[in-house]
Structure 1
Amino acid sequence: MPDPKSSSLSSGEAAYAGLVDALRSGDFSPGDRLREEDVAKRLNLSRTPVREALRRLELAGIVEHRPRIGAVIRKLSQTEIVELYEMRIVLERTAARMAAQHGADAEFDALDAMNQRIAAAQDTPTLGAAINQDFHETLYLAARNRFLVASAEAINNALILLGPTTYLDPDRIRIVTEQHEALIAALRARDGDAAAKAAETHLQTSLRYRLSGGPA
């Protein structure tokens, strides 16, 4: 992991960014205890900014403080997973519809290139999952609505709590990339209704996969 001190961020921001990166990459999983001393050593920072970062994660609902244990990464219940995906579907349908109207062809080209990289990353699932995050972020940015982007950021933080990537299953990657292709085709056609439908189909499939207990 890059040394957080090498960035222009404050120590607190660096600690927060480093922790979020570790959570997204699967270095920490839901249910894991986050000891200040261990995290500080990992990030090459003092315990004070780490404590600040843990408080931010607690306010965001990602970390919970348990008596006599300390900071622990939350585990989502099945009900919470369904609620999370329901909100993702609402936001992503809107993003896809607006991106079809406002997005640039170059952005659609970028989405296509990222999708090809996901397909090529079958042997490195965590890389494919990271590229997938970039794919969805690019879709939101193409919608040209800062309030939609801000709402998506809050939801994306909660996605950390879903646990390790499902991309260990090659068939899962094939389905994801095929559904991405359908979304990109609708965007290129400037068909907002089709893009919204493709986005919803994609997330409904992802939800079903999560609830069925597919490979983590």
Structure 2
Amino acid sequence: MKKTVIRQSLKDQVKSILIDRMIEGDLAPGDRIKELQVAKELGTSQAPVREAIRCLETLGYVEHIPHVGAMVKTFNRSEIEEAYQVREALELHSTGLIAEVQNELVKKLDEQLALMRSATKAHNIRMFTQADNEFHRAIVASCENETMLAMWESLKMQVQVIATLVKASMPLDKIYLLHPPIVDAFKSKSRERASLLLKGHYKILGSYWENLK
């Protein structure tokens, strides 16, 4: 879907849009990012697009190939697995750092759970993935540690590779059912149980990933 840049930091706006396209699969690993084409699509000049691409190179989402240009990075299996392990560790550690489970976190988790449920019924993998990402992001964000959240955000691309493959082989309803118990644990303010359930969640998805080798 075409998005138009609104007045703000153009570079950051373009960067966010490009990241969304990568996560949603509109820009796949190995795809070339054409500066002029992106600028025309977003109704902006090439300068903020160029700056956004440089930022994405720094984040490790994009690599510059001589005589070719900017390409969406292709991750090897080892990089993907390491990112998956780090993301799990960040979420588990974040859960332990939450001083007190706030109603705001529970509300956010419930909202994303409802979206996942709707996506499951419609078998909308893209919608499910977006809600799933927001669900897990909310957990990390709730510990109010900006560095940990930034680390979690930086792993989106690698983890998305696993998520896409797993969701193509594992029924969405099975993935969905891993989440309500996590919400219930947070509602009962049991961080220990939430951590155990998160660990189990990653173990189950990890087993599907292993079977895809």
Bin of the TM-score, shorter chain as denominator length: 0.7 to 0.9
Tell whether 2:94 aligns with 1:95: yes
1:83 Cα deviation (Å)? 0.5
Query: Aligned residue for 1:140?
Result: 140
SS of the residue aligned with 1:90? helix
Query: Aligned residue for 2:14?
Result: 15
C-alpha distance in 2 between matches for 1:176 and 1:51? 38
C-alpha distance in 1 between matches for 2:104 and 2:15? 32
Contact 2:185 2:194 in 1 (8 A): yes
Query: Aligned residue for 1:110?
Result: 108
Higher RCO (CA < 8 A, seq sep 6+): 1
**Amino acid across the alignment from 1:117:** L
1:158 Cα deviation (Å)? 4.6
C-alpha distance in 2 between matches for 1:181 and 1:163? 19
Root mean square deviation of aligned Cα: 2.4
SS of the residue aligned with 1:120? helix
1:181 Cα deviation (Å)? 1.4
Contact 1:73 1:161 in 2 (8 A): no
Contact 2:32 2:70 in 1 (8 A): yes
TM-score normalised by L of structure 2: 0.86
C-alpha distance in 2 between matches for 1:129 and 1:106? 21
Contact 1:76 1:162 in 2 (8 A): no
Unaligned runs of 5+ in 2: none
Deviates more, 1:158-167 or 1:106-115: 158-167
SS of the residue aligned with 1:13? helix
Unaligned runs of 5+ in 1: none
**Amino acid across the alignment from 2:3:** P
SS of the residue aligned with 1:196? helix
Question: Which 4+ residue blocks in structure 1 deviate beyond 6 angstroms?
Answer: none
Q: Against the structure 1 CA distance between its residues 13 and 119, is the aligned structure 2 distance closer, same or farther, given a 3 Å change threshold?
A: same
Query: Percent same amino acid among aligned pairs?
Result: 24
C-alpha distance in 2 between matches for 1:163 and 1:72? 21
Tell whether 2:71 aligns with 1:75: no
**Amino acid across the alignment from 2:116:** I
C-alpha distance in 2 between matches for 1:78 and 1:61? 16
C-alpha distance in 1 between matches for 2:199 and 2:22? 26
Deviates more, 1:132-141 or 1:200-209: 200-209
1:1-60 Cα distance to aligned partner (Å, 9 max, x none): 3311x2x32222222122112212221111111121222222222221111111111111
Q: Against the structure 1 CA distance between its residues 114 and 165, is the aligned structure 2 distance closer, same or farther, given a 3 Å change threshold?
A: farther
**Amino acid across the alignment from 2:25:** G
Query: Aligned residue for 1:32?
Result: 31
Aligned residue pairs total 210
TM-score normalised by L of structure 1: 0.85
Contact 2:53 2:62 in 1 (8 A): yes
Deviates more, 1:157-166 or 1:8-17: 157-166
SS of the residue aligned with 1:72? strand
Contact 1:3 1:44 in 2 (8 A): yes
